[in-house]
Structure formats: structure tokens, C-alpha cells
Amino acid sequence: MKISEKLKQVNTSISFEFFPPKNEEGEKQLFNTIKDLEKLNPTFVSVTYGAGGSTRDRTRNIVKKIHEETSLTVMAHLTCIGHTKKELIEILSDYKNIGIQNILALRGDIPLGQEESEIYKKDGCRFANELVKLIRTEFKDWFSIGVAAYPEGHPESPNLERDILYFKKKVEAGADFAITQMFFDNRYFYEYLNLCEKEGINIPIIPGIMPITNFKQIRKFALMCGATIPEDLVKKLEKVEDKPEEVEKIGIEFATKQCEDLLKHGVKGLHFYTLNKSKATIEIYNNIKHLVK
């Protein structure tokens, strides 16, 4: 079923992101996680794609397996850089043939040290709005299309206002909803929603929640994507950096408070970056479920 339709049917959507594992062991762990999280009755789950096509088959196979072997609605991420339009259409046609109706249309991060001509194929899509347009042109309304949004601005953008104008281009090209980059200070998100509303952007914008379970790893991710980790949280985590259980406890407490505040502000949903693990996400969900309507 299309996510755009499911979002109309629920007050608060709960969803989970996974990445395609590299080996059989990882796949077994992922499907254990999926089994645990399926019990929470999520609106949808999604599977990431390696920019340039590095996980092309793995993403496709995990998406297919979730679609065929679970009760879940699944969305495939697809990045356009490094692909020609012909390749993108091939990938999308295959998804259509196996019954997948949800795509997160992305540009992908620019890989370091690659030739421009490899990154931007001659007959390719340079930005995500072009991929959204390609999907709508070739497949009309078969797919529900999600796009990425950045409450603190995308790191390559000169400023937030410009970034929102580019976000609007994705909406005008036919995106149905957006999922945000992780953020840890809800004030960025609320201000972002205000600015989007002023620009006339009226698709659902679902906040992306990253439970901190490994501080070193998340600090690195946050630095790369320009997400600010509040000073007092950094100080708390630094003190216990080498004690994984304490890091996870603080991470769960923080994400619980963050989600409670978002739910009290009437957000359309919560999208959890699970990193293929279920424990932290389930604990956070159990802490907030009384607020999920």
C-alpha cells in the first residue's frame, strides 16, 4: 500500500529505517529486528541505498523479502547520482513488477575522490527533484514518493532559506511526504516547519529520530550531516563514552523526552533510524506509546 494513503489513515505514523546487511549473519540479525519491530505495527519501514548503486541488489533483495515475508509496508530508498536515467528507470520498473509502491527519492552524498563525470552521468539526475520528476513522468501515480528534508539545512546549502526553496522544488515535482535528517534539538524542527509553511509547503514532514547507542559513531554521523548535538548532552555522554550500557541509557532517556515533546506538538509521525537493532527503539516506543494516537 502507498505510504501517502496510510499517512491519511493514521494520526501518528511510526516507522523504522534499516540498512541492507553485508552478509548472511547481518541479514539474520536484521530479520530478528524486523520480527521484534513488526509487533509495534509500524505504518512503514524503509531500506537505505548505497549512493552510486553500491547496494543496488542488496537493497532490492531486502525490500522484496520484507514485502513478501512480513506484513509490513516497505519503502525502498533510491539515490540518483552515479546512475543514468535508463538505469534508474530499470530499478524502478523492477520495483513496480514486484509490487513495491514506495520510494524515498534522494540524490545521495557526493563520494570523495570520484570524477565529476562518474558522479553526474551525462543522462542522469543531478538533484533529487529531477529524480522525483523522472518517477512521476515515467510511472505516474504508481509510487508514493518521499524525499529528504533538513531542519538544520543541508551541509552543502549556503543557507536554510535556499535549502527550503530546493526542498519546495521536490514537492512541486510530486513528492508526497518528507523525512528529516536526524536532529537533537526540536527547536530547529519547529522553526523549519514554520519556514516551510510560509513557503506554502504542505506535505507531511516526519522527524527522523536517531537513538544514541554508540556516542563515537553518532558524533561522527552528526558532524557529517550537520546535526547539532546539544552541549549538555555531549558533556553527559563524554563522561560515560566507554561504558556502552550507560551511553544507551542516556540515549534512550534523551530520545524519549525528544519524542514526547514532538508528539505533544502534534507531529505527523516519528521515523526511527534503527541501525538494524530493535532494543533502544522498542524501549523508546514503550515509553511514549501512551502519547501515540
Which residues make up the interface to ligand FAD (CB under 6 A)? 48-49, 51, 77, 79, 104, 106-109, 127-129, 148, 154, 156-157, 163, 166, 169-170, 179, 181, 208
Residue closer to ligand FAD, measured from CB, 13 or 79: 79
Burial call 142-154: b when 16+ CB within 10 Å, e when fewer = ebbbbbbbbbbbb
Q: Look up residue 25 and give its amino acid.
A: E
The minimum distance between CB 197 and ligand FAD, in angstroms, equals 19
Residue closer to ligand FAD, measured from CB, 179 or 247: 179
The minimum distance between CB 146 and ligand FAD, in angstroms, equals 8
| Strands 74-79 vs 102-106: parallel, antiparallel or unpaired | parallel
- What is d(CA 100, CA 143) in angstroms, rounded to the nearest whole number? 8
Q: Are 282 and 256 in contact (CB under 8 A)?
A: no
The minimum distance between CB 163 and ligand FAD, in angstroms, equals 4
Query: What is the SS3 string spanning 49-94?
Result: CCHHHCCHHHHHHHHHHHHHHCCCCEEEEEECCCCEHHHHHHHHHH
Q: Could you confirm whether 17 is annotated as catalytic? A: yes
Q: Are 247 and 217 in contact (CB under 8 A)?
A: no
Residue closer to ligand FAD, measured from CB, 67 or 107: 107
Tell me which residue of 156, 155, 178 sits closest to 167, measured CA to CA. Answer: 178
CA distance between the termini of the chain: 21
Active-site residue, selected from the candidate residues 5, 17, 115, 138: 17
Residue closer to ligand FAD, measured from CB, 135 or 250: 135
Residue closer to ligand FAD, measured from CB, 48 or 276: 48
Residue closer to ligand FAD, measured from CB, 91 or 104: 104
> 34: helix, coil or strand?
helix
The minimum distance between CB 241 and ligand FAD, in angstroms, equals 26
Phi (first) and psi of residue 74, to 5 degrees = -120, 145
The minimum distance between CB 235 and ligand FAD, in angstroms, equals 27
The runs of H, that is alpha helices, within 82-172 are 85-97, 116-119, 128-139, 160-172
> 113: helix, coil or strand?
coil
The minimum distance between CB 251 and ligand FAD, in angstroms, equals 19
Q: Are 292 and 260 in contact (CB under 8 A)?
A: no
Residues designated catalytic? 17
